[in-house]
Structure 1
Amino acid sequence: MTDLPSSQLKPIRSGVTARRFALMASVVAGVGVAAYGLSPSADKAEFFISPAYAQVNTDVSKVAQPIGFADIVERVKPSVISVKIRMKDRAVASGDDSPFQPGSPMERFFRRFGGPDGLPPGMRGRRGPGLVTGQGSGFFISADGYAVTNNHVVDGADKVEVTTDDGKTYTAKVIGADPRTDIALIKVEGGSSFPFAKLSDDKVRIGDWVLAVGNPFGLGGSVTAGIVSASGRDIGTGPYDDFIQIDAPVNKGNSGGPAFNMKGDVIGVNTAIYSPSGGSVGIAFSIPANTVKSVVAQLKDKGSVSRGWIGVQIQPVTSDIADSLGLKKAEGALVAEPQANSPAAKAGIKSGDVITAVNGDPVKDARELARTIGSLAPGTSIKLNVLRKGTDKVVNLTLGTLPDTVEARADHYGDRGSSRDNDIPRLGLTVAPAGSVAGAGGEGVVVVDVDPKSPAAERGFREGDVILEVAGKSVSSSADIREAIKAARAEDKNSVLMRVRTGSTARFVAMPIAKG
């Protein structure tokens, strides 16, 4: 036992009387354990050492050990595979090995957040004579050899090989892939009793432990641990972004590998990292298990994914837009424009409508609407709650099929000539009737000049934009805009909503309106 000098012991009093108390202090592995108390005397406070606790614990085996992950890893690690692909050298310009189309959402993401070469984890290939190789990770989801990996791991592969945890190598074929969620389903040939993992049914909570297992840098069978850092992440790869963010170290080669919870179930498929340097900085993104389930089911059934489609251009409801529309909360998805002959157009959905619920379930924002509709099968009948000019309506429609491609066309405006209308100095805009500007069409007014220090410039207006409506009314001149602003001020509104077309895309912009 180690005696503490009396100079370190200070009395503790509690008003008129001192109450007995016990202070337990323990130090692991060979340091004495003592208890100190106060004398029961009401007049003074004196410390004493209880002999019952004056013992030395030298038995290290009895010391509690921290709980590790070995039991879970031993159970789940055999289900994880290394995926190696080979493809013929496509002789991509400038030696770029990226598997994504230039300008695509995934290509832009990895250019911004990937390694120094702009490639996703695991896709830095090695070139041989006319050959490119790459590697990633995956995991079995059934005993007969079906396995999940990333689309970007196997995209364009002429040959796919997998190596299991016991070192055996098998040939695999791609059953189907979904670029929008970056999920691919492969089938390993030559076995019927592969160890497999279960996709989790539980809701992920921030702070939960997570284990990432995969093939970083081609090392194979590596395990890292961390926690769930965030959920519902939008990283700009597409309208269905709903990633889980984890801080378990994930590096090149981990792509397509699983993230396990403490039950040993897969909560997500690791697909991207934030990496200014090319290595892990503790920010990785996983595709949620519920998304993987729905995608894999369709890939296994028909080799591709079909998604529901209503055919609207939507945008978030900001606080300014909510104020312009008289909404109490900035929630829902604002319809900028229904597409011609789409289910939405046929059902009577109009520009300026706010979709607030699908089949009675509230819609928080535009992303949630896209994910909800995309998760439903084409041909499904749904009910939309729509807020139109302060009135709630219910619209029934049948979902169409999301087109495989969406053509984006940027219209070029010709000579704007000298047919300028009066400018609108408070907003920083100068406009002209659309009919007077070549290529602008016959509706609305064309923005021919934007003050770079104006509210209009701050909200993204640029030359060539066409203002179609202000406060729900069609406009054809600057006078129409001024009249709409005047009416909004009379209603004591702080902003006015404009429907604006840029190229082939329409959107709403909430513009602040100065008083006076």
Structure 2
Amino acid sequence: MPSLKLYVTSLLAVLLCGQALVAQAQLPDFTELVEEASPAVVNISTRQKLPERMSSGGGALSIPDLEGLPPAFREFFERSIPQVPRAPGGGRQREAQSLGSGFIISADGYVLTNNHVIADADEIVVRLSDRSELQATLVGTDPRSDVALLKIDGKDLPTVRLGKSEELKVGEWVLAIGSPFGFDHSVTAGIVSAKGRSLPNESYVPFIQTDVAINPGNSGGPLFNLDGEVVGINSQIFTRSGGFMGLSFAIPMSVAMDVAEQLKADGKVSRGWLGVVIQEVNKDLAESFGLDKPAGALVAQVLDGGPAAKGGLRVGDVILSMNGKPIVMSADLPHLVGALKPGSKANLEVVREGSRKSLQVLIGALPEEGVELAGMEGPGVERSSNRLGVKVAELTGEQKKALDLQGGVVIKEVLDGPAAMIGLRPGDVITHLNNQAIDSAKTFAQVAQSLPKNRSVSMRVLRQGRASFITFKLAE
């Protein structure tokens, strides 16, 4: 009997050991990848010849990348920052700590990094893996994608291998090399959490989301797949503490290389432009527009004279696809439009008043600065009160001209009722109600009187020149 117990115990030990070896064999080994790729990853430091703001603690420099960190962390990292001599005028010259990363993409010295790493810099220094330092020339930047292209003098420099970011799969292992908090060539690994992410104020980059540990100083560094190919540029983190919290975002290399090639050739980047303001289609909006499910990009505003207006797009259209590529979320549309060259043609499939239509639009060039319609409030005569609980007035000719409208009514007072519950305010302009254009206070009162009950109803509202659709339901 003891021998049987010993046999069973030994067998279990062998099985557990075998399972551990199998599990270990399934984990990736990054050693060869790091050895091969590290020489092409660089540290980037900048200097700005501007008077530096003094902190309250003995004249230490203020480092933007350390802002928001707990005091203990700030003190630890700031202890290594040298004091900068005073300028002749009595102030101090700002010299940023080395908290940026980049990587060499060609043997003759082209380097990719983030725009925010080198923004406003008077001097850019690239430190190679052998600790040698080279002055860099700024070839060009693209703030919209947060990509910058640098050039250093050199021959036969080590380079990274470029991969295809569009072939990445969610759940795939990826690895980052960079200089978090100035610690050169730190390596972190994780998986792809999602693709095609849109971030606030970043409409033209379909970010790769990962759970790779990215901290201040990793910005501009490469994101590798298991084949040792760069598939992204580490750009942003979402954090409440100032450090890594499991949400990191990288610019796909397909986007970055398109930007780099344009910067190299022209010094600037051209993007496609449609000339619309869009919003997400939620369940209630889908119901009000007769859609089977929430999908597409709802056109809330068409800019006068823009490509969309010339191509026949209208307010209230829901764009379902562009050039055969489906638009599931509204954020998909800017990515697709921005990737098109100005002057190219785009085929759109839209839903208008419950029916599908095909439109062809000639894509324009994205303006240097955003085009905004200015709102304008004025007096006006009260004309109507109604079931919605609002009092409205006709728009004056001056208001219509300023807002580029043919009709619409302005809310003068919000009473108790549905309007107050959905957040309408005095000064809001209503241009459409229940998929019908509102050209006067009389039309508004008629449409409001005939609104259906217990069904989602859409309303298009302009607030400070910005248009959006909202939905509500009238109870029995």
With the length of structure 1 as denominator, give the TM-score of the two structures: 0.77
Kept in 1, the 8 Å contact 2:165–2:252? The answer is: no
Structure 1 counterpart of 2:194: 230
Q: Which residue number corresponds to residue 235 of structure 2?
A: 271
Question: C-alpha distance in 1, partners of 2:199/2:103?
Answer: 24
Contact 1:142–1:197, Cα closer than 8 Å, also in 2: no
* Deviation, structure 1 residue 329: 2.0
**Deviation digits for residues 358-398 of structure 1 (CA, Å, limit 9, x no counterpart):** 12222223211111010001011222222221232222221
Indicate which of 496, 499, 502 corresponds to 2:463.
502
The aligned amino acid for 2:35 is E
Q: Residues 68-147 of structure 1: matches in 2 within 5 Å?
A: 68-89=29-50, 115=69, 128=84, 129-134=92-97, 135-147=99-111
Pair 1:454–1:230, CA change in 2 (3 A)? farther
Q: Is the 8 A contact 2:411 2:428 kept in 1?
A: yes
Q: Which runs of 5+ in 2 are unaligned?
A: 85-91
Q: CA–CA distance in 2 between the matches of 1:308 and 1:277? A: 37
**2:412 maps to what in 1?**
448
- Superposed CA RMSD in Å reads 3.8
State the AA in 1 paired with 2:320. T
1:478-497 matches, cutoff 5 A: 480-489=443-452, 494-497=455-458
Tell me if structure 2 keeps the 8 A contact 1:216–1:250: yes
Please give the secondary structure, in 2, of the residue aligned with 1:270: strand
**Structure 1 residue 436, shift from structure 2 partner:** 11
Matched letter for residue 468 of structure 1 = T
Deviation string 1:231-278 (CA, Å, 9 cap, x unpaired) is 222221322242222222111111000111111111211111122222
Does 2:363 match 1:399?
yes
Task: Provide the rounded CA distance (Å) in 2 between the counterparts of 1:323 and 1:199.
Answer: 42
Amino acid corresponding to residue 429 of structure 1 in structure 2: V
1:292 equivalenced with 2:279 (yes/no)? no
1:148 and 2:115 aligned: no
User: Residue 407 of structure 2 contacts residue 440 of structure 2 at CA under 8 Å; is this kept in 1?
Assistant: no
Show the counterpart of 1:260. 224
Q: 337, 341, 344: which is aligned to 1:377?
A: 341
Taking the aligned partners of 2:324 and 2:166, their CA distance within structure 1 comes to: 23
Alignment map for 1:54-73 (pairs within 5 Å): 68-73=29-34
**Match of 1:370, SS?**
helix
In the other structure, the counterpart of 1:468 is 431
Moved more, 264-273 or 193-202: 193-202
Structure 1 residues 476 and 348, CA, compared in 2 at 3 Å: closer, same or farther? closer
Counterpart CA distance in 1 for 2:34 and 2:377 is: 61
Give the equivalent residue in structure 2 for 1:46.
none
**What residue in structure 1 maps to residue 89 of structure 2?**
none
Q: Which residue of the other structure, out of 22, 26, 41, is the alignment partner of 2:13?
A: 26
Q: Secondary structure at the match of 2:117?
A: helix
Structure 1 residue 230 displacement after superposition: 2.4
2: CA distance, partners of 1:83 / 1:178 = 18
Q: Deviations over 1:441-498 (max 9, x none)?
A: 78322122335x8543454422210111212333356653353245442xx7712222
Counterpart of 2:175 in 1: which secondary structure? Answer: strand
Amino acid at match of 1:423: S
Q: Counterparts of 2:289 and 2:10 in 1: how far apart (Å)?
A: 63
Distance 2:449 2:424 in 1: 21
The answer (yes or no) to whether the contact 1:140–1:197 under 8 Å persists in 2 is no
| 1:221 equivalent in alignment to 2:185 | yes
Alignment pair present for 1:420 and 2:407: no
Task: Please state which structure has a larger fraction of its residues in helix.
Answer: 2
Percentage identity across aligned positions? 38
Provide the residue aligned with 2:175 in structure 1.
Answer: 211
Partner amino acid, structure 1, of 2:468: R
The one-letter code of the counterpart of 1:463 is P
d(CA) in 2 for partners of 1:320, 1:344 = 25
Larger radius of gyration: 1
- What is the letter of the counterpart of residue 301 of structure 1? A
- The answer to whether residue 322 in structure 2 is matched with residue 335 in structure 1 is no
Asked if the contact 1:355/1:387 (under 8 Å) is kept, the reply is yes
Structure 1 residues 399-408 or 197-206, which shifts more?
Answer: 197-206
Q: Distance in 1 between matches of 2:475 and 2:201?
A: 37
Distance 1:432 1:222, change over 3 A: same
SS in 1 for 2:331: helix
Partners of 1:192 and 1:5 in 2: how far apart? 65
Q: Is the 8 A contact 2:160 2:229 kept in 1?
A: no
Task: Determine the structure 1 residue equivalent to 2:87.
Answer: none
Corresponding residue for residue 375 of structure 2: 411
For the residue of structure 1 that corresponds to 2:134, the secondary structure is strand
Deviation of 1:93 after TM superposition, in Å, equals 11
- SS of the equivalent of 1:267 reads strand
Cα-to-partner distance string for 1:187-232 (whole Å, 9 max, x where unaligned): 1113333333323355222222111100111121111122222222
Question: Partner letter of residue 514 of structure 1?
Answer: A
Say whether 1:351 aligns with 2:322.
Answer: no
SS in 2 for 1:75: helix
Letter aligned with residue 443 of structure 1? G
- 1:506 Cα offset (Å): 2.0
SS in 2 for 1:301: helix
Partner amino acid, structure 2, of 1:307: R
Could you say if the C-alpha distance between residues 283 and 391 of structure 1 is closer, same or farther in structure 2, counting changes exceeding 3 Å? closer
Aligned to 2:33, what secondary structure does the other structure show? helix
Measured after TM superposition, the shift of residue 4 of structure 1 is 7.2
Is the 1:336–1:499 contact (alpha carbons within 8 Å) kept by the matching residues of 2? yes
SS of the equivalent of 1:385 reads strand
**Given that residues 324 and 493 in structure 1 are in contact (C-alpha distance below 8 angstroms), is that contact kept between their aligned partners in structure 2?**
no
Q: 1:282 to 1:391 in 2, by over 3 A?
A: closer
Q: CA deviation at 1:27?
A: 5.0
